[in-house]
Structure 1
């Protein structure tokens, strides 16, 4: 449980002025990757929202330090990043019916995490077809899946080209010039 008097913090702004502030809401999102004994991998996403002051909802009061939202989503993937199992759990939600949507996330089974995955699942679970908070877990879980499998693919000699995928690995950058010279493109 979070104690409200432990939550005072000071922020240094860009102009170096000290401004006292008080924590009201905290969202924590974690993603963990696990190797399974059957040769597949689990990616577990966990989202938890807590408040430091009571929140009155139509269904009751959320007390300081208690979760307003707490959801877990676990996907099992194979080496090609195909989802072979998916389980969603709502541990805490502001409304008693929040967890009723959990079984819908089984429809992730068969999808492959690849470019366009995030847009696909946003459409699949849009509006009343999904849970906003479970949906928010899917993009960082997809990233965690790549991070988990990259070293495994490298050990297998399976090429995975990330050049052009971010600022550091831009085609005209120094990293690409030095480490991936065959893909380097001089700036215009």
Structure 2
């Protein structure tokens, strides 16, 4: 269902945020984000001259390389377009994120390392959707299949993981993070029954014994 028809108005600005997740042939994960800003009208810029309508005021990207524990093992940040010549000078400092794990406290630690004058506002903002894209990428059934194949090929798959029933299922990170994924709701009841807490939880969990959880969405 689209938004309701707007009142008469004039388009002034467009911001686009694009994030993508990739499984690498070396078993690591690349999560990339790009943020762009553009005006719908010509306007002057002291450094770049007149920017035409549609020219990027900001065009900045970052790539986080993660291991299977969501620990950042490498970072690359670039500034292709900016309103000030000095903006791109700070991008090497995003290497400070190496060693940080995406999880609880991630954004707090990002601000500690790269907040204020120690980072770029736009790239730091971009790390929010990049982090959630990491979870969306790694949590899918396809991602788990690719990861498993890679570890089998390289002989790094622990014996305990060769059997689906070797250990209990892990709680999906999305539970109780939004309305749809309430632990008492139908989505959790269907896709993560081991962690369902609705009124018929005991019966649901009993019926789900031995069922592998598949996380989508």
SS of match in other structure, 2:93: helix
What's 1:134 paired with? 123
CA distance in 1, matches of 2:82, 2:56: 8
CA distance in 1, matches of 2:24, 2:133: 16
CA contact (8 A) 1:153 1:159 kept: no
Equivalenced residues, count: 173
What's 1:98 paired with? 87
What's 2:61 paired with? 72
Comparing 120-129 and 140-149, the one that deviates more: 120-129
Deviation at 1:183, TM superposition (A): 3.3
1:148–1:177: structure 2 CA closer, same or farther, 3 Å change rule? closer
What's 1:24 paired with? 12
Which ranges of structure 1 fall in alignment gaps of 5 or more residues? 1-10
CA distance in 2, matches of 1:87, 1:167: 35
Comparing 82-91 and 32-41, the one that deviates more: 32-41
CA distance in 1, matches of 2:95, 2:194: 43
1:166–1:153: structure 2 CA closer, same or farther, 3 Å change rule? farther
- 1:55-86 CA-to-partner distances (Å, cap 9, x unmatched) read 23443432211110000101111111111110
Deviation at 1:172, TM superposition (A): 2.7
What's 2:44 paired with? 56
Q: Which residue of 86, 110, 131 corresponds with 1:121?
A: 110
SS of match in other structure, 2:85: coil
TM-score where L is the length of structure 2: 0.71
TM-score where L is the length of structure 1: 0.81
Which ranges of structure 2 fall in alignment gaps of 5 or more residues? 149-163, 200-217
Q: Does residue 1:184 correspond to 2:172, yes or no?
A: no
CA distance in 1, matches of 2:92, 2:35: 18
What's 2:187 paired with? 175
CA contact (8 A) 2:20 2:133 kept: yes
What's 1:4 paired with? none
Comparing 173-182 and 31-40, the one that deviates more: 173-182
Larger strand proportion of the pair? 1
What's 1:35 paired with? 23
CA contact (8 A) 2:59 2:79 kept: yes
RMSD across aligned positions (CA): 2.3
